[in-house]
C-alpha cells in the first residue's frame, strides 16, 4: 500500500515539475540570438500591406535585423525610430553613439504593427556592429 502511495506521489511531483519547467522558460537573450530574418523597412511594409495575417505569423516574436537611418530619438522611453516606420526600444538605455540621421543596424524582437501610429514595434533592441 505505501509503495503505491509513494509511486503516485513521485509521479505527481514529476508531472508538476515538468509542467512548471515547460510553462516558465527562461528569458530569451535576443542580443546573443542569430536573427531569424534580415529585412528592410520596405519589405516589412510590403508584406504587411499584401497580407498582414501571414506577415504576423511569420514575424511575430521572431528576432529580426534591420538597417535604416535614425529619424527620431526618444530618450524617455529608451527608444528610437528608424526608417520613419520602425519604433525600437532598448533594454536598459540608449547607446551613446546614436544620433539622428545616422545609419544604424539593429537587431530585436518583433512585436507587431501599430495601426494607430503606423509603426512597426521592436523591443529588446541592440546595435549590431
Residue 87 has pLDDT above 90, yes or no: yes
pLDDT at 77 over 90: no
Q: Does domain 30-127 have CATH number 2.40.50.140?
A: yes
Of residues 65, 27, 34, 41, the one with CA closest to residue 113: 41
Task: Tell me what percent of the residues of the chain surpass a pLDDT of 90.
Answer: 53
Confidence bin at 129 (pLDDT 50/70/90): confident
Phi, then psi, of 75 in degrees rounded to 5:
-65, -30
C-alpha cell at 2: 505505501
Interhelix angle 41-50/52-59, rounded to 10 degrees, is 130
Q: Other CB atoms closer than 10 Å to residue 58's CB: what's the count?
A: 14
Amino acid at each position: 500500500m505505501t509503495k503505491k502511495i509513494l509511486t503516485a506521489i513521485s509521479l505527481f511531483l514529476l508531472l508538476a515539475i515538468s509542467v512548471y519547467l515547460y510553462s516558465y522558460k527562461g528569458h530569451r537573450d535576443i542580443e546573443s540570438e542569430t536573427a531569424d530574418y534580415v529585412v528592410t523597412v520596405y519589405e516589412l511594409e510590403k508584406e504587411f500591406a499584401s497580407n498582414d495575417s501571414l506577415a504576423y505569423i511569420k514575424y511575430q516574436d521572431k528576432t529580426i535585423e534591420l538597417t535604416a537611418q535614425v529619424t527620431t530619438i526618444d530618450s524617455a522611453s529608451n527608444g528610437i525610430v528608424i526608417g520613419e516606420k520602425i519604433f525600437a526600444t532598448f533594454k536598459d538605455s540608449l547607446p551613446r553613439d546614436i544620433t539622428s540621421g545616422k545609419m544604424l543596424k539593429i537587431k530585436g524582437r518583433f512585436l507587431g504593427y501599430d495601426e494607430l501610429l503606423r509603426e512597426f514595434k521592436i523591443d529588446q533592441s541592440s546595435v549590431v556592429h
